[in-house]
Amino acid sequence: MKDWLSSVIDVPVHVAENPLECVAVGTGKSLHLIHKLQKAAK
């Protein structure tokens, strides 16, 4: 599936060992940079 998705979107795809941890870490990083994300959304 990862090879198919990678070919469809033309972006490298990686399967995480622990997807829930990746979501938690990514959310934490996003919250740390919330001011930059809000500025970019305007």
Q: How do the domains of the chain map onto residue ranges?
A: 2-41
Say whether pLDDT at 42 is over 90: no
Tokens of 12: 């490298």
2 touches 15 (CB < 8 A) = yes
Over the stretch 12-31, which tens digit does the pLDDT of each residue have?
A: 999 999 999 999 999 999 99
Answer whether 0.95 is exceeded by the pTM.
Answer: no
Residue matched to tokens 């990678």: 6
Residue at 40: amino acid letter? A
Helices (H), the chain: 2-9, 19-32, 34-41
Name the band, by pLDDT with cuts 50, 70 and 90, for residue 41.
confident
